[in-house]
Amino acid sequence: MIGHELGGRYEIIERIGGGGMALVYKAHDILLGRNVAIKVLRQQFVHDEEFIRRFRREAQSAASLSHPNVVSIYDVGQEDEIHYIVMEYVEGYNLNEIIKERAPLQVEESVRIATQICDALDHAHQNQIIHRDIKPHNILIGRNGRVKVTDFGIARAVTSTTITQTGSLIGSVHYFSPEHAKGVATGEKSDLYSLGIVMYQMLTATLPFLGESPISVALKHLQEEFDDPRDVNPLIPQSVENIILKSMRKNPHERYQSAKEMIVDIETSLLPERRNEPKMQFADFDADQTRALPAIKVQQQGTSLRRNKDLFNEDDEDDKPMTSNKGKKKWTKPVLWISLTLFILIAMGSIVWYVNNKLSVQEVAVPSVINMQEDAAVAKLKEFGIEVGEITRAYNPEFDEGMVYDQSKKEGTTIKEGSSINLSVSTIKPFVTMPDVKSLTFEEASKILIGKKIKEDNIKQTSDYSDEPSGTVISQSPGANAEFDGDTQEIVLTVSKGPKNIPMPNLVGKTQQDAQSELENLGLELEAIKEDTSFQIEKGKVTQQWPYDPKAPVSPGSPGSKITLFVSTGYPAEALDYTFRLPVAPVEEGKKTKVRIVYSDARNEEGSTKEYGTQTIQTTQVFPVKLVLMPNKDAVVSVYLDGKPFDEFRIRYNDVKNGTVPEVVLPQKDPVVPPITEDEPVDVVPDQNNEEDPKGNADNNTDDVEDDTTAMTSSGKLDNNNKNKDKGHKGNKDNRDNRGNDRNNGNRLTSSRP
Cβ neighbours of 487 (radius 10 Å): 11
Domain(s) labelled CATH 2.60.40.2560 in the chain stretch across 576-750
| Between residues 53 and 23, the one the model is more confident about | 23
| Between residues 32 and 500, the one the model is more confident about | 32
Q: Considering only 60-64, 74-78, 589-593, 627-631, which range has the smallest mean pLDDT?
A: 60-64
Looking at residue 114, its pLDDT comes to: 97
Looking at residue 506, its pLDDT comes to: 87
Identify the band that residue 163 occupies on the pLDDT scale cut at 50, 70 and 90.
very low
Kindly report the CATH class assigned to 95-165+186-213+229-285.
mainly alpha
| Per annotation, catalytic residue among 119, 122, 133, 647 | 133
Asked if residue 693 has pLDDT above 80, the reply is no
Looking at residue 34, its pLDDT comes to: 94
CATH number of 432-496: 3.30.70.920, 3.40.50.300, 3.30.10.20, 1.20.1090.10? 3.30.10.20
Looking at residue 638, its pLDDT comes to: 96
| Between residues 548 and 428, the one the model is more confident about | 428
Looking at residue 339, its pLDDT comes to: 64
| Between residues 438 and 711, the one the model is more confident about | 438
The share of the chain scoring above pLDDT 90, in percent, equals 42
One-letter amino acid of 277: E
Mean pLDDT of 426-433: 84
Rounded to an integer, what distance in angstroms lies between the CA atom of residue 477 and that of residue 464?
A: 14
Identify the band that residue 57 occupies on the pLDDT scale cut at 50, 70 and 90.
confident
Looking at residue 550, its pLDDT comes to: 64
Superfamily of domain 5-88: Phosphorylase Kinase; domain 1 (3.30.200.20)
pLDDT in tens, 379-415: 999 988 899 988 998 888 888 889 999 999 888 888 8
Contact 752, 738 (CB under 8 A): no
Q: Identify the top-confidence range among 192-201, 210-219, 377-386, 414-423.
A: 192-201
Looking at residue 431, its pLDDT comes to: 81
Looking at residue 614, its pLDDT comes to: 95
Q: Which CATH architecture has domain 576-750?
A: Sandwich (2.60)
Looking at residue 723, its pLDDT comes to: 35
| Residue whose C-alpha is closest to residue 105's, from 21, 174, 35, 201 | 201
CA angle 518, 522, 528 (to 5 degrees): 65
DSSP symbols for 493-552:
EEEE--PPPBPPP--TTSBHHHHHHHHHHHT-EEEEEEEE--SSSPTTBEEEEES--TTS
pLDDT in tens, 551-588: 667 766 666 678 889 998 888 889 999 999 999 999 98
Asked if residue 175 has pLDDT above 90, the reply is yes
Looking at residue 546, its pLDDT comes to: 84
75 is catalytic: no
| Between residues 712 and 536, the one the model is more confident about | 536
Looking at residue 429, its pLDDT comes to: 79
| Between residues 738 and 413, the one the model is more confident about | 413
Asked if residue 191 has pLDDT above 90, the reply is yes
Q: How many residues does the chain have?
A: 754
Identify the band that residue 590 occupies on the pLDDT scale cut at 50, 70 and 90.
confident
| Between residues 661 and 749, the one the model is more confident about | 661
Looking at residue 489, its pLDDT comes to: 87
Cβ neighbours of 394 (radius 10 Å): 11
Q: Strands, E, within 19-146: which ranges?
A: 22-29, 34-41, 73-79, 82-88, 92-94, 129-130, 139-142
Identify the band that residue 203 occupies on the pLDDT scale cut at 50, 70 and 90.
very high
Asked if residue 728 has pLDDT above 60, the reply is no
Looking at residue 154, its pLDDT comes to: 54
In CATH, the number for domain 363-426 is: 3.30.10.20
Taking the CA atoms of the chain, what radius of gyration do you get in angstroms? 54
The share of the chain scoring above pLDDT 70, in percent, equals 74
pLDDT in tens, 314-366: 444 343 333 333 344 444 455 566 666 666 767 666 665 554 554 455 788 89
Domain(s) labelled CATH 3.30.10.20 in the chain stretch across 363-426, 432-496
Contact 442, 408 (CB under 8 A): no
Identify the band that residue 710 occupies on the pLDDT scale cut at 50, 70 and 90.
very low
Mean pLDDT of 490-515: 87
Q: Considering only 377-386, 428-437, 663-672, which range has the smallest mean pLDDT?
A: 663-672
| Residue whose C-alpha is closest to residue 276's, from 236, 233, 231 | 236
Looking at residue 649, its pLDDT comes to: 95
Looking at residue 551, its pLDDT comes to: 62
Whole-number mean pLDDT of the chain? 78
Contact 619, 586 (CB under 8 A): yes
Half-sphere exposure of 217 (CA within 13 A, CB side): 22
Q: Is the torsion defined by CA of 299, 135, 219, 317 positive or negative?
A: positive
Mean pLDDT of 651-664: 92
Looking at residue 497, its pLDDT comes to: 86
pLDDT in tens, 89-145: 999 999 999 999 999 999 999 999 999 999 999 999 998 888 888 999 999 999 889
Looking at residue 504, its pLDDT comes to: 80
Nearest-10 Cα torsion for 286, 313, 212, 96: -90
Across the strands, what pairs with 364? 415
Looking at residue 401, its pLDDT comes to: 86
| Residue whose C-alpha is closest to residue 435's, from 490, 483, 495 | 483
Looking at residue 172, its pLDDT comes to: 78
Burial class (CB in 10 A: 0-12, 13-18, 19+), 132: buried
Q: Is the torsion defined by CA of 715, 719, 725, 731 positive or negative?
A: negative
Kindly report the CATH class assigned to 512-568.
alpha beta
Mean pLDDT of 189-194: 96
Q: Identify the top-confidence range among 142-156, 322-336, 417-431, 710-724.
A: 417-431
